[in-house]
Amino acid sequence: MSCTVQVVLFDNPIAELRRLTAGVGAAVRSARRSSEIATTTLVFGDSSATPSLSDADVESLQTVLGPEVEVSYVFFDENLGSGGGSNRLMEQSDSDLVWVLNPDTVPTPTVLSELLAALEPDDVAAVDARQVPIEHPKGFDATTGDTAWVAGACLLMKRAAVAHVGGFDAHFFPMYCDDVDLSWRLRLAGWRVRHAPAAVVFHDKRLGADGRTEASDFEHESGVLSRLFLAHRYNRPDIAQATLQWVDEGGTEAHRRAVATYRVRLDAGDVPEPLPDPDQVSDLDSDHYGPSRFEY
Protein backbone atom coordinates (compact mmCIF):
# COMPACT_ATOMS: atom_id res chain seq x y z
CA MET A 1 0.00 0.00 0.00
CA SER A 2 1.56 3.24 -1.11
CA CYS A 3 1.02 6.65 0.39
CA THR A 4 1.74 10.20 -0.72
CA VAL A 5 2.06 12.89 1.90
CA GLN A 6 0.91 16.18 0.41
CA VAL A 7 1.62 19.64 1.76
CA VAL A 8 0.51 22.79 -0.03
CA LEU A 9 2.75 25.76 0.74
CA PHE A 10 2.19 29.47 0.71
CA ASP A 11 5.22 31.44 1.90
CA ASN A 12 6.10 29.02 4.70
CA PRO A 13 9.47 29.33 6.45
CA ILE A 14 11.89 26.43 6.10
CA ALA A 15 12.09 26.00 9.91
CA GLU A 16 8.38 25.21 9.95
CA LEU A 17 8.83 22.62 7.22
CA ARG A 18 11.77 21.02 9.00
CA ARG A 19 9.73 20.24 12.10
CA LEU A 20 6.87 19.01 9.88
CA THR A 21 9.23 16.80 7.90
CA ALA A 22 10.79 15.35 11.04
CA GLY A 23 7.30 14.47 12.27
CA VAL A 24 6.33 12.88 8.96
CA GLY A 25 9.45 10.73 9.01
CA ALA A 26 8.78 9.46 12.53
CA ALA A 27 5.13 8.78 11.73
CA VAL A 28 5.95 6.84 8.57
CA ARG A 29 8.65 4.79 10.32
CA SER A 30 6.22 3.90 13.12
CA ALA A 31 3.43 3.06 10.68
CA ARG A 32 5.69 0.77 8.72
CA ARG A 33 6.27 -1.32 11.81
CA SER A 34 2.57 -2.01 12.27
CA SER A 35 1.03 -1.79 8.81
CA GLU A 36 1.61 -2.51 5.15
CA ILE A 37 2.64 0.98 4.21
CA ALA A 38 5.24 0.64 1.50
CA THR A 39 6.50 3.41 -0.74
CA THR A 40 5.95 6.84 0.65
CA THR A 41 6.61 10.23 -0.83
CA LEU A 42 6.46 13.62 0.80
CA VAL A 43 5.58 16.21 -1.77
CA PHE A 44 5.44 19.95 -1.27
CA GLY A 45 3.29 21.91 -3.73
CA ASP A 46 4.07 25.60 -3.65
CA SER A 47 1.37 28.16 -4.35
CA SER A 48 3.61 31.09 -3.40
CA ALA A 49 4.49 33.86 -5.83
CA THR A 50 8.16 32.91 -5.70
CA PRO A 51 9.61 29.51 -4.79
CA SER A 52 9.67 28.92 -1.01
CA LEU A 53 12.29 26.18 -1.25
CA SER A 54 15.62 26.05 -3.00
CA ASP A 55 17.22 22.82 -4.15
CA ALA A 56 19.41 22.98 -1.06
CA ASP A 57 16.34 23.34 1.13
CA VAL A 58 14.77 20.27 -0.42
CA GLU A 59 18.01 18.41 0.07
CA SER A 60 18.12 19.45 3.71
CA LEU A 61 14.56 18.22 4.17
CA GLN A 62 15.53 14.93 2.56
CA THR A 63 18.36 14.72 5.09
CA VAL A 64 15.88 15.27 7.92
CA LEU A 65 13.69 12.53 6.56
CA GLY A 66 16.32 9.94 5.73
CA PRO A 67 16.22 7.56 2.78
CA GLU A 68 12.93 5.90 3.70
CA VAL A 69 10.71 8.66 2.37
CA GLU A 70 11.41 10.55 -0.81
CA VAL A 71 10.94 14.31 -0.75
CA SER A 72 9.85 16.21 -3.81
CA TYR A 73 8.93 19.81 -4.47
CA VAL A 74 6.66 21.35 -7.07
CA PHE A 75 6.49 25.07 -7.67
CA PHE A 76 3.04 25.72 -9.14
CA ASP A 77 3.94 29.20 -10.35
CA GLU A 78 0.40 30.23 -9.54
CA ASN A 79 -1.74 30.29 -6.45
CA LEU A 80 -3.95 27.24 -6.76
CA GLY A 81 -5.35 27.60 -3.28
CA SER A 82 -5.52 24.80 -0.79
CA GLY A 83 -7.94 22.45 -2.57
CA GLY A 84 -6.60 23.22 -6.05
CA GLY A 85 -3.05 22.61 -4.89
CA SER A 86 -4.00 19.31 -3.31
CA ASN A 87 -5.75 18.23 -6.52
CA ARG A 88 -2.70 19.13 -8.60
CA LEU A 89 -0.46 17.07 -6.31
CA MET A 90 -2.90 14.16 -6.41
CA GLU A 91 -2.84 14.22 -10.20
CA GLN A 92 0.92 13.78 -10.12
CA SER A 93 0.92 10.55 -8.13
CA ASP A 94 -0.95 7.28 -8.11
CA SER A 95 -0.53 6.12 -4.53
CA ASP A 96 -3.31 4.19 -2.83
CA LEU A 97 -3.51 6.69 0.00
CA VAL A 98 -3.17 10.43 0.19
CA TRP A 99 -2.19 12.09 3.44
CA VAL A 100 -2.88 15.81 3.41
CA LEU A 101 -1.10 17.96 5.96
CA ASN A 102 -1.05 21.67 6.67
CA PRO A 103 2.46 23.10 6.65
CA ASP A 104 2.05 24.34 10.23
CA THR A 105 1.40 20.86 11.61
CA VAL A 106 3.78 18.37 13.20
CA PRO A 107 2.64 14.74 13.07
CA THR A 108 3.23 12.57 16.13
CA PRO A 109 4.91 9.21 15.61
CA THR A 110 1.62 7.41 16.21
CA VAL A 111 -0.68 9.53 14.09
CA LEU A 112 -0.34 7.66 10.79
CA SER A 113 -0.82 4.24 12.42
CA GLU A 114 -3.98 5.47 14.10
CA LEU A 115 -5.29 7.06 10.92
CA LEU A 116 -4.59 3.89 8.97
CA ALA A 117 -6.45 1.78 11.50
CA ALA A 118 -9.48 4.07 11.35
CA LEU A 119 -9.40 4.10 7.53
CA GLU A 120 -9.36 0.33 7.27
CA PRO A 121 -13.13 -0.43 6.81
CA ASP A 122 -14.05 -0.54 3.14
CA ASP A 123 -16.79 2.05 3.44
CA VAL A 124 -14.56 4.66 5.08
CA ALA A 125 -13.12 7.16 2.61
CA ALA A 126 -11.30 9.61 4.83
CA VAL A 127 -10.10 10.02 8.40
CA ASP A 128 -8.90 13.10 10.22
CA ALA A 129 -6.68 13.45 13.30
CA ARG A 130 -7.22 15.19 16.60
CA GLN A 131 -5.45 18.53 16.55
CA VAL A 132 -3.60 19.87 19.57
CA PRO A 133 -3.29 22.17 21.45
CA ILE A 134 -6.58 23.61 20.13
CA GLU A 135 -8.88 20.67 19.55
CA HIS A 136 -11.46 21.12 16.86
CA PRO A 137 -14.90 21.30 18.47
CA LYS A 138 -16.73 19.34 15.78
CA GLY A 139 -18.55 16.30 17.06
CA PHE A 140 -18.00 12.63 16.36
CA ASP A 141 -19.56 9.36 17.36
CA ALA A 142 -17.64 8.06 20.39
CA THR A 143 -18.00 4.45 19.23
CA THR A 144 -17.63 4.62 15.45
CA GLY A 145 -15.76 7.89 15.04
CA ASP A 146 -18.24 8.92 12.34
CA THR A 147 -18.28 12.65 11.89
CA ALA A 148 -20.00 15.24 9.70
CA TRP A 149 -16.78 16.15 7.92
CA VAL A 150 -13.05 15.64 8.18
CA ALA A 151 -10.59 18.49 8.59
CA GLY A 152 -7.90 19.00 5.97
CA ALA A 153 -5.16 19.96 8.45
CA CYS A 154 -4.29 16.28 8.86
CA LEU A 155 -6.37 14.05 6.65
CA LEU A 156 -5.76 10.53 5.34
CA MET A 157 -7.83 9.56 2.32
CA LYS A 158 -8.33 6.68 -0.07
CA ARG A 159 -7.40 7.95 -3.50
CA ALA A 160 -10.07 5.87 -5.23
CA ALA A 161 -12.87 7.30 -3.11
CA VAL A 162 -11.69 10.87 -3.52
CA ALA A 163 -11.21 10.45 -7.23
CA HIS A 164 -14.70 8.98 -7.45
CA VAL A 165 -16.19 12.29 -6.28
CA GLY A 166 -13.76 14.43 -8.28
CA GLY A 167 -11.34 15.45 -5.55
CA PHE A 168 -11.43 18.81 -3.85
CA ASP A 169 -13.38 21.58 -5.51
CA ALA A 170 -10.83 24.22 -6.43
CA HIS A 171 -13.56 26.86 -6.44
CA PHE A 172 -13.14 27.03 -2.68
CA PHE A 173 -10.26 29.39 -3.34
CA PRO A 174 -8.07 30.32 -1.60
CA MET A 175 -8.88 28.00 1.29
CA TYR A 176 -11.32 26.77 3.94
CA CYS A 177 -14.37 24.55 3.63
CA ASP A 178 -12.93 22.61 0.72
CA ASP A 179 -12.58 19.80 3.26
CA VAL A 180 -16.18 20.22 4.44
CA ASP A 181 -17.38 20.12 0.85
CA LEU A 182 -15.29 17.08 -0.05
CA SER A 183 -16.55 15.25 3.05
CA TRP A 184 -20.17 15.98 2.26
CA ARG A 185 -19.77 14.86 -1.35
CA LEU A 186 -18.10 11.65 -0.19
CA ARG A 187 -20.99 11.04 2.18
CA LEU A 188 -23.51 11.81 -0.57
CA ALA A 189 -21.76 9.12 -2.59
CA GLY A 190 -22.24 6.65 0.26
CA TRP A 191 -18.86 6.82 1.95
CA ARG A 192 -18.22 7.34 5.63
CA VAL A 193 -15.76 9.84 7.04
CA ARG A 194 -14.32 9.33 10.52
CA HIS A 195 -12.49 11.20 13.23
CA ALA A 196 -9.66 9.27 14.95
CA PRO A 197 -9.24 10.86 18.39
CA ALA A 198 -6.22 8.68 19.17
CA ALA A 199 -4.45 10.12 16.12
CA VAL A 200 -2.78 13.27 17.40
CA VAL A 201 -1.22 16.01 15.34
CA PHE A 202 0.24 19.27 16.54
CA HIS A 203 -1.29 22.21 14.68
CA ASP A 204 0.38 25.51 15.40
CA LYS A 205 -2.68 27.57 16.29
CA ARG A 206 -2.49 30.09 19.11
CA LEU A 207 -4.65 32.28 21.26
CA GLY A 208 -4.83 36.04 21.05
CA ALA A 209 -4.65 38.42 23.99
CA ASP A 210 -8.37 37.91 24.59
CA GLY A 211 -7.98 34.15 24.96
CA ARG A 212 -9.67 33.43 21.66
CA THR A 213 -8.21 31.64 18.66
CA GLU A 214 -6.05 33.97 16.63
CA ALA A 215 -7.19 34.49 13.04
CA SER A 216 -5.67 36.83 10.50
CA ASP A 217 -7.71 39.15 8.27
CA PHE A 218 -6.97 36.77 5.44
CA GLU A 219 -8.40 33.88 7.42
CA HIS A 220 -11.50 35.89 8.29
CA GLU A 221 -11.95 36.80 4.64
CA SER A 222 -11.52 33.22 3.49
CA GLY A 223 -13.90 31.99 6.16
CA VAL A 224 -16.78 34.19 5.03
CA LEU A 225 -16.12 33.55 1.36
CA SER A 226 -16.09 29.79 1.87
CA ARG A 227 -19.31 29.92 3.87
CA LEU A 228 -20.99 31.73 1.01
CA PHE A 229 -19.66 29.13 -1.44
CA LEU A 230 -21.01 26.31 0.72
CA ALA A 231 -24.41 27.99 0.97
CA HIS A 232 -24.44 28.36 -2.78
CA ARG A 233 -23.45 24.78 -3.46
CA TYR A 234 -25.78 23.23 -0.92
CA ASN A 235 -28.84 25.21 -1.89
CA ARG A 236 -29.14 27.40 1.17
CA PRO A 237 -29.92 30.90 -0.10
CA ASP A 238 -31.17 31.74 3.40
CA ILE A 239 -27.71 31.06 4.84
CA ALA A 240 -26.09 33.11 2.10
CA GLN A 241 -28.53 35.93 2.79
CA ALA A 242 -27.98 35.75 6.56
CA THR A 243 -24.21 35.79 6.05
CA LEU A 244 -24.40 38.79 3.77
CA GLN A 245 -26.65 40.58 6.23
CA TRP A 246 -24.30 39.75 9.13
CA VAL A 247 -21.35 41.20 7.20
CA ASP A 248 -23.37 44.22 6.24
CA GLU A 249 -24.38 44.94 9.82
CA GLY A 250 -21.24 44.11 11.77
CA GLY A 251 -18.56 42.71 9.52
CA THR A 252 -15.01 43.93 9.25
CA GLU A 253 -13.23 45.24 6.20
CA ALA A 254 -11.95 41.70 5.55
CA HIS A 255 -15.50 40.34 5.63
CA ARG A 256 -16.67 43.02 3.23
CA ARG A 257 -13.84 42.13 0.86
CA ALA A 258 -15.07 38.53 0.96
CA VAL A 259 -18.60 39.61 0.05
CA ALA A 260 -17.32 41.74 -2.82
CA THR A 261 -15.25 38.82 -4.11
CA TYR A 262 -18.21 36.50 -3.81
CA ARG A 263 -20.44 38.79 -5.86
CA VAL A 264 -17.84 39.17 -8.59
CA ARG A 265 -17.22 35.43 -8.75
CA LEU A 266 -20.93 34.64 -8.63
CA ASP A 267 -21.48 36.88 -11.64
CA ALA A 268 -18.58 35.22 -13.43
CA GLY A 269 -19.83 31.73 -12.57
CA ASP A 270 -16.57 31.09 -10.74
CA VAL A 271 -18.25 29.36 -7.80
CA PRO A 272 -18.88 25.75 -6.78
CA GLU A 273 -21.62 24.20 -8.82
CA PRO A 274 -24.87 23.67 -6.87
CA LEU A 275 -25.67 20.05 -6.11
CA PRO A 276 -29.05 18.56 -6.92
CA ASP A 277 -30.09 17.07 -3.60
CA PRO A 278 -27.63 17.95 -0.89
CA ASP A 279 -29.91 18.18 2.13
CA GLN A 280 -29.19 14.72 3.49
CA VAL A 281 -25.59 15.52 4.45
CA SER A 282 -25.18 19.26 4.65
CA ASP A 283 -25.54 21.13 7.89
CA LEU A 284 -25.17 24.82 7.39
CA ASP A 285 -27.24 25.83 10.35
CA SER A 286 -24.51 25.12 12.87
CA ASP A 287 -21.37 27.19 13.21
CA HIS A 288 -19.11 24.22 12.59
CA TYR A 289 -21.05 22.59 9.73
CA GLY A 290 -22.20 19.75 11.92
CA PRO A 291 -22.78 18.86 15.56
CA SER A 292 -20.29 20.39 18.00
CA ARG A 293 -18.92 18.92 21.20
CA PHE A 294 -18.42 22.38 22.67
CA GLU A 295 -17.90 25.99 21.69
CA TYR A 296 -14.79 28.13 21.93
Partner 1 sequence: MRYDFGYSDDSPYGHIVRLLDDHIDSVDTPDERGLVIDLGCGLAAIEAPAVELGFSYCGLDGDAVTVDELVTRRGIDAHLIDLVDVAGLAARLDAVTAGRSVAAITAIDVLEHLPRPDQTLRALHAWARERGSPALLVSVPNVGHVDLATKLVTGRWDVTPTGLLDETHLRFFNDRSVSALMSGTGFAEIARDDFRLIFSDQAWPPDHPAQSPESMLGRYLRTLRESTDEHAETNQFVRMYSPTGTPIMESPDRSVLAIEPDLDRPSPFLSVITRTTGNRSTLVGTLACLSGQTDADFEILLMVNTDDSDDRDSVLDLVASFDESFRDRIRVDVSDEMHRVAPLNRALDLARGRYITVLDDDDFVFGDWVEQFHRAADEHPGAVVRCRAVDQHIDTVGGGADGVGPAVATSGFEAPYRSTFDLASHFAGGQSPQGTLAVPHEALDTFNLRFDEAMVVCEDIEFYLRVTSICGVVDTATFGMVYRRWTDRFASQHTVAPEVWEQAIQEIVRRFDAGPMLMPAGTASRLYQTAAQERQLHDLDLGTSTLLRRVEVAERNWAAIVHDFVGLDHRYRDVAADRDRMAEQIATDAAAAATAAAAAAAVPLHRRIVRRGRRMLFGKP
Closest distance between partner 1 and the C-beta of residue 157, in Å? 21
Closest distance between partner 1 and the C-beta of residue 184, in Å? 23
Choose between 38 and 207: whose C-beta lies nearer to partner 1: 207
For residues 44-63, one letter each, b for 16 or more C-beta atoms within 10 angstroms of the residue's C-beta and e for the rest, the string is: bbbbbeeebbeeebbebbbe
- 97-101 vs 70-75, strand pairing mode: unpaired
Sheet containing 97-101: order of strands: 70-75, 40-46, 3-9, 97-101, 154-158, 124-132, 192-203, 105-107
Choose between 64 and 244: whose C-beta lies nearer to partner 1: 64
As a whole number of angstroms, the distance between CA 214 and CA 134 comes to 11
Closest distance between partner 1 and the C-beta of residue 210, in Å? 9
Choose between 142 and 268: whose C-beta lies nearer to partner 1: 142
Does an H or E element contain 258, and which? helix 253-268
How far, in Å, are 149, 168, 227 from residue 182 at the CA level? 8, 6, 14
Closest distance between partner 1 and the C-beta of residue 12, in Å? 13
Closest distance between partner 1 and the C-beta of residue 66, in Å? 9
Closest among 61, 69, 62, 84 to 39, alpha carbons compared: 69
Q: How far is CA 207 from the centre of its chain?
A: 21
Choose between 159 and 203: whose C-beta lies nearer to partner 1: 203
Choose between 21 and 82: whose C-beta lies nearer to partner 1: 21
Query: What is the binding site for partner 1 (CB under 8 A)?
Result: 15, 19, 22-23, 25-26, 29-30, 64, 105-106, 108-110, 130, 132-135, 137, 142-143, 145, 197-198, 200-202, 204-209, 211, 293-296
Choose between 138 and 232: whose C-beta lies nearer to partner 1: 138
Closest distance between partner 1 and the C-beta of residue 201, in Å? 7
Choose between 86 and 108: whose C-beta lies nearer to partner 1: 108
Strand partners, 8: 45
How far, in Å, are 29, 141, 217, 227 from residue 189 at the CA level? 33, 20, 35, 22
Choose between 204 and 283: whose C-beta lies nearer to partner 1: 204
Closest distance between partner 1 and the C-beta of residue 80, in Å? 26
Non-local (6+) Cβ contacts of 262 within 8 A are 225, 228, 229, 271
Q: Are 68 and 25 in contact (CB under 8 A)?
A: yes
φ, ψ (nearest 5 deg) of residue 259: -65, -45
Closest distance between partner 1 and the C-beta of residue 187, in Å? 21
